[in-house]
Amino acid sequence: MADPTSPLARPFPAMPAIAGVRLAVTRAGYKNWERADLTYAALDVGTTVAGVTTRSKCPSPEVEWCRAALTLGRARALVVNAGNSNAFTGNRGRAAVEAIAARVAGHVGCQPSDVFVASTGVIGVPLPIDKAEAGIDAVIQAPEADWRAAADTIGTTDTFAKGASTTAIVDGRTVTLVGIIKGSGMIAPDMATMLGFIFTDAAVEAPFLQTMLSAANTPTFSCITVDSDTSTSDTVLAFATGKAGNAPLASFDDAGADAFQAALTDLCRQLAHLVVRDGEGASKFIQVAVEGADSDASAHRVALSIANSPLVKTAIAGEDANWGRVVMAVGKAGEPAERDKLSIRFGSIQVARNGLAVEGYDEAPVGAHLKGQEIEIGVDLGLGDGRAIVWTCDLTHGYISINADYRS
Amino acid sequence: MADPTSPLARPFPAMPAIAGVRLAVTRAGYKNWERADLTYAALDVGTTVAGVTTRSKCPSPEVEWCRAALTLGRARALVVNAGNSNAFTGNRGRAAVEAIAARVAGHVGCQPSDVFVASTGVIGVPLPIDKAEAGIDAVIQAPEADWRAAADTIGTTDTFAKGASTTAIVDGRTVTLVGIIKGSGMIAPDMATMLGFIFTDAAVEAPFLQTMLSAANTPTFSCITVDSDTSTSDTVLAFATGKAGNAPLASFDDAGADAFQAALTDLCRQLAHLVVRDGEGASKFIQVAVEGADSDASAHRVALSIANSPLVKTAIAGEDANWGRVVMAVGKAGEPAERDKLSIRFGSIQVARNGLAVEGYDEAPVGAHLKGQEIEIGVDLGLGDGRAIVWTCDLTHGYISINADYRS
């Protein structure tokens, strides 16, 4: 974990073990650092899996591997490497992933396609196969680790460990869902961002787990942005061990499916918010809520235009009630908008209505809202019923410091 | 002019007077500052005009005024206000523009529609009509100013005065073109960005001047970006006084029309580059050249994805040869791209070819290139013949400092 810790950090919560999941970590030494950087999860026979991955046109070989393995829907192990993304490394990168899957399969006695692999870190440097293989041999023997250790180990520029858990009643049984996630830069929406791993003891058939994970992704991971930059390695995987003993969920007609979907979406939202809270250099958590758009999709694009605007984000960093920059960001979005129907609020304080500042506009309460850590920008386009919410953070000197010399 | 001056600044060039143009500046006092903030250009009878304006859905009333006046194609005066953009101010903003045009028209004895108005500065605060009218009364009486004074006066967060000039042979006569420009933040392509004013003594019919200005805009102003944020007030106007005495240019069939177009495009490119050189916080001038794309339009979008990426821009700021971030930016552009056909260079040094680092990649010469002030990122997508060039600057602490407290 990098220092200093984000001022928006949340304490790592107490998270229950998931029957059928065994965690371990070790130091493979992918970078010249004194910390564990290889995370391993052993998954009992019968575990199903679903995933969402980056829409980048230059995906990592790990992403391609997971996509292929996801079509089979079953999982026995997860390996996460930190410090090297292995992306854009050609055949050598593919060979590294294949070697990892084969090594784990040999230990576990499963198919290589039962092994899921994710890597995060610098792009363009092949993952060293010898270090990965030695790391796997070590982690297989390592003592069991807890969620906190796993969440620490998957991080790179993250400043705090991020995890969340929840429960649902399915088929008369309480099932548990836990998730850990990493990510603080190269975070953009419109795909499954970052590396996130969700585990549940519920029994869920793989195709339906995929349906529910995709549905949970849309209003959560796809609605956050730190810097508008989309990673080549973004992956969220959900594993269901079935140990809770419920009748396997196969469709929304099954008892408890709606409850499970709600819990899964809630968990994804918690994890997505934690990623924003650890946005590189972040000092403010910002919710952008757009309503009155032509459509929900249009509202989403307007909200992203605001959330990705460097001038909006620096104004929030400066606690400056410069709402004109929100006008600018709406105007540049390329979506249906009419200047003279546009209204803007900060928190609950209306600042502009129908194309100009409200009568007797008083900046003091807006300034007070901006001094907090939780900021809301509300925009009403006044056109239709479309609405969307996205989350982002401010843009500060910290972002520049972190990213102007991340590799060195 | 703000301090400190951009390290990429260029000295203000010697620029010839344009017959038929008389400049003056005064202090209207739009902000609490001790500097001239109202620029005035008197234009002789017979001056034609063309313009390109922002594509923002929330344009300023000045933009709307200019668009309407441009349909008539003639100009007698230009007023530029600095320190207040008058955007998003409803009827009061429109009234301010109308008052300015009427006041000037009264002095000059012309139609209000012969008066062009542009304003730059904070959004959402109506331009004070009393200050504008008093400023106009003063500037009409003011002594003649030179290009340097005008270029200084139209600036806001600009750190140096920006101007350029060139000539062309038209109809056997040498015609002169000069331009001044302001802009250093809220600069994004795909429209006429910033406030730019071009003056020539050539005789050009207004519709053809518009054709040529629009053509000049496409590969110049529309190919720069500082921060991806599009202003509500972007305006470039070109005025042709006709005093050179050439037979008025009316089409590309006329002798000298091609030469004039070339000179106009060259002038626009010079001015566009100066805006990037004064990008807020800029320490590096970056050319992004994309080739091998499916189409020129696709290449342009990929180039912008790179040029607007905060992670690419901070890497350049840190003189860090982190070319993986270029891969990321290509991957996120949403344009046709194949990872394993992608090649990348910095300056003339190839760093990656066909989806991975070149054999024996040596970072040292790339590092040397990045220590310079003029950086080139070259990308070959390996798909087709589409190509594009865009220009941007790096993203530094200076940008954060300037924008986290611009209004205060």
Domain contains B168:
yes
For A310, the closest of B59, B229, B330 (CB atoms) is: B229
Is residue A152 a part of any domain in this protein? yes
Within-domain flag for B128: yes
Find out whether the peptide bond into B4 is cis, omega within 30 degrees of 0: yes
- Please report whether residue B13 resides in a domain: no
Q: Which chain B residues contact residue A92 at CB under 8 A?
A: 356
B181 and B289 part of one domain: no
Give the per-residue pLDDT at B287: 95
Confidence check: pLDDT of A192 > 60: no
- Domain boundary (B228, B248, B277) is at B277
Q: Are residues A242 and A330 in the same domain?
A: no
Per-residue pLDDT, B2:
56
Average confidence (pLDDT) over A90-98 = 93
pLDDT digits (tens, 9 = 90+) for A348-360: 999 999 988 999 9
Q: Is it the case that residue B3 has pLDDT exceeding 80?
A: no
As a whole number, mean pLDDT of residues B160-188 equals: 84
pLDDT tens digits, B5-32: 888 888 999 999 999 999 999 999 998 8
Shared domain for A263 and A313, answered yes or no, is: no
Question: Are residues A96 and A211 located together in one domain of the fold?
Answer: yes
Q: Using the 3D structure, point to which of B277, B302, B331 is the last residue of a domain.
A: B277
Lowest mean pLDDT among A178-182, B69-73, B115-119, B283-287: A178-182
Q: What is the pLDDT of residue A208?
A: 95
How many alpha carbons lie under 13 Å from residue B220 in its C-beta half-sphere?
Answer: 26
Among A252, A277, A302, the domain-final residue is A277
pLDDT value at A254 more than 70:
yes
In a domain, B2, yes or no: no
CA B35 to CA B208: how far, in whole Å? 37
Mark whether A239 and A266 lie in a shared domain. yes
- What average pLDDT score do residues B293-312 get? 93
Residue A354: give its domain's CATH number. 3.10.20.340
| Cross-chain Cβ contact B324/A88 below 8 Å | yes
A143 and A254 together in one domain: yes
Chain B CB within 8 Å of residue A255 CB: no
Residue among A159, A193, A232, A265 flagged as catalytic: A193
Contacts of A90 in chain B (CB under 8 A): 340, 354-356
Query: Is 50 exceeded by the pLDDT of residue A81?
Result: yes
The answer to whether residue A259 is domain-embedded is yes
* Nearest residue on chain B to A61, alpha-carbon basis: B339
**Is B9 a member of any domain?**
no
Please tell me the least confidently modeled range out of A216-225, A366-375, B263-272, B333-342.
A216-225
Does residue B218 have an active-site annotation? no
pLDDT bracket for residue B186 (50, 70, 90): low
Least confident piece of the model among A65-69, A239-243, B80-84, B272-276: B272-276
| Residues B131 and B257 grouped into a single domain | yes
Cis peptide before A4 (omega within 30 of 0): yes
Task: Give me chain A's average pLDDT, please.
Answer: 90
Q: Is B164 helix (H, G, I), strand (E, B) or coil?
A: strand
Residue A407 has pLDDT above 70, yes or no: no
- pLDDT of A230: 72
The sign one gets for the Cα dihedral B49, B52, B57, B61 is negative
The string over B35-63, giving b where at least 16 C-beta atoms fall within 10 Å of a residue's C-beta and e elsewhere, is ebbbbbbbbbeebbbbbbbbbbbbbbbbb
Do both A221 and A81 map to the same domain? yes
Together in a domain, A313 and A380: yes
Q: What is the pLDDT of residue A189?
A: 41
pLDDT recorded at residue A73: 92
Of A54, A318, A327, the CB nearest to B123: A327
The answer, for B185 touching chain A at a CB cutoff of 8 Å, is yes
| pLDDT tens digits along A133-174 | 999 999 999 999 999 999 999 988 788 898 989 999 998 899
pLDDT for B405 equals: 61
**In chain B, residues 61-90 whose CB comes closer than 8 Å to chain A:** 85, 87-90
Instruction: State mean pLDDT over A58-63.
Output: 88
Please write the tens of the pLDDT for every residue from A106-124. Answer: 999 999 999 999 998 888 8
Range with lowest mean pLDDT among A4-8, A281-285, B87-91 = A4-8
For residue A229, the enclosing domain spans: 21-277
Each residue's pLDDT tens digit, B194-237: 788 899 999 999 999 999 999 998 888 888 877 777 777 778 88
User: How many independent structural domains does chain B possess?
Assistant: 2
- What's residue B261's pLDDT? 94
**Beta carbons of B88 and A339 less than 8 Å apart:** yes
Find out whether A305 and A311 touch, Cβ atoms under 8 Å: no
Residue of B26, B39, B193, B230 marked catalytic: B193
Whether residue B265 is found in the same domain as residue B311: no
Asked whether residue A1 is assigned to any structural domain, the reply reads: no
**A82: its two tokens:** 């930190």
Q: B168 pairs with which residues across the strands?
A: B175
| For residue A408, pLDDT beyond 90 | no
Q: How far is CA A402 from the centre of its chain?
A: 19
For residue range B318-344, list pLDDT tens digits in order.
Answer: 999 889 889 989 988 889 999 899 999
Report CB contact under 8 Å: B325, A395. no
Region of residue B336 (left: phi > 0; alpha: psi -120 to 50; beta: else): beta
Residues A368 and A229 both lie in one domain = no
Query: Given pLDDT bands bounded at 50, 70 and 90, which one contains residue B40?
Result: very high
CB A314 to CB B399 under 8 A?
yes
**pLDDT over 50 at A193, yes or no:** no
Query: A78: pLDDT confidence band, cut at 50, 70 and 90?
Result: very high
Q: What's residue A346's pLDDT?
A: 96
Q: In what order do the strands lie in the sheet with A195-200?
A: A48-53, A235-240, A195-200, A173-182, A162-170
Distance (Å, whole) CA B265 – CA B253: 18
Report the CATH number at residue A259.
3.60.70.12
- One domain, residues A273 and A292: no
Biggest distance spanned by C-alpha atoms of chain B: 72
Chain A nearest-CA residue for B55: A332
pLDDT higher than threshold 60 for residue B190: no
**Mean pLDDT of the A284-313 span:** 94
pLDDT in tens, B109-153: 999 999 999 998 888 889 999 999 999 999 999 999 999 999 999
Element (H, E) at A215: helix A206-217
A95 pLDDT above the threshold of 90:
yes
Mean pLDDT computed over every residue of chain B: 90
Residue A396's closest chain B neighbor by CA?
B400
